[in-house]
Chain A
Amino acid sequence: KAGVTQTPRYLIKTRGQQVTLSCSPISGHRSVSWYQQTPGQGLQFLFEYFSETQRNKGNFPGRFSGRQFSNSRSEMNVSTLELGDSALYLCASSDGTVNEQFFGPGTRLTVL
């Protein structure tokens, strides 16, 4: 099976812009979770989608939003970018149970 893929791998944006990141889960996986990884903060949970519904949400401002399509692919959108949004954004897929999550390579977002 193909692994979790994320596009694009690198992004450079300026403050105030918006950005959309994409994640394609492993075939058959219905759960997609998004994380923000920054040095010193570890992985911060953004949200999880399961069968097109947001099942859980972390403590991020409303500028961060997501959605999931019927084929389980997910997108994450960040509006009005701030310098502090610079991070590695990881997506992880699973079958939606307590089994392990499989991570993608991440999208490195730099906000100038």
Chain B
Amino acid sequence: AQTVTQSQPEMSVQEAETVTLSCTYDTSENNYYLFWYKQPPSRQMILVIRQEAYKQQNATENRFSVNFQKAAKSFSLKISDSQLGDTAMYFCAFRSTTSGTYKYIFGTGTRLKVLA
């Protein structure tokens, strides 16, 4: 069974600094999708970034980028130039591409606080 592990329950970073959130996963599949979702306080969860396992190039979305290490089954999120609005829970998620297996597996989340 697939698992997703986020080993950092809480982190903090100074505004304008860079922070990296860790995520590891376990799967026997070769092709799958990985996601980072952001859940701001009392607000809806939104997608931050997505990575297809068959793509070697790391995904980037503005200030957000990932370091995808397929062999190590690691998928970390780097936030550059942190802003106060980045304060949120961040969830790493895995999604199989095997037909019939459409559920997402989420990690337990990392609570990030950006300090002014």
Contacts and interface: CB of A to CB of B under 8 A. Distances in A.
Interface of A: 3-4, 31, 33, 35, 40-45, 48, 50, 55-56, 58, 90, 92, 96, 98, 100-101, 103-106
Contact of A43 (B44, B97, B101, B106): B106
B105 interface: yes
A53 to B, nearest CB: 12
Interface residues of B, number: 24
Contact of A41 (B46, B50, B108): B108
B91 interface: yes
Most A-side CB within 10 Å, residue of B6, B43, B100, B104: B104
B108 A42 contact: yes
A15 B107 CA distance: 29
B47 interface: yes
B33 interface: yes
B115 interface: no
B35 interface: yes
A24 B43 CA distance: 17
Given A3-B44, A98-B97, A103-B45, A45 B108 contact: no
A103 B101 CA distance: 19
A45 B95 contact: no
Interface of B: 6, 33, 35, 37, 43-47, 50, 91, 93, 95, 97, 100-109
Contacts of B108: 40-42
Nearest to B33: A98
Nearest to A105: B44
B107 A56 contact: no
Contacts of A35: 106
A21 B105 CA distance: 22
Most A-side CB within 10 Å, residue of B46, B102, B107: B102
Nearest to A6: B44
A48 B102 contact: yes
Given A42-B91, A100-B50, A56 B102 contact: yes
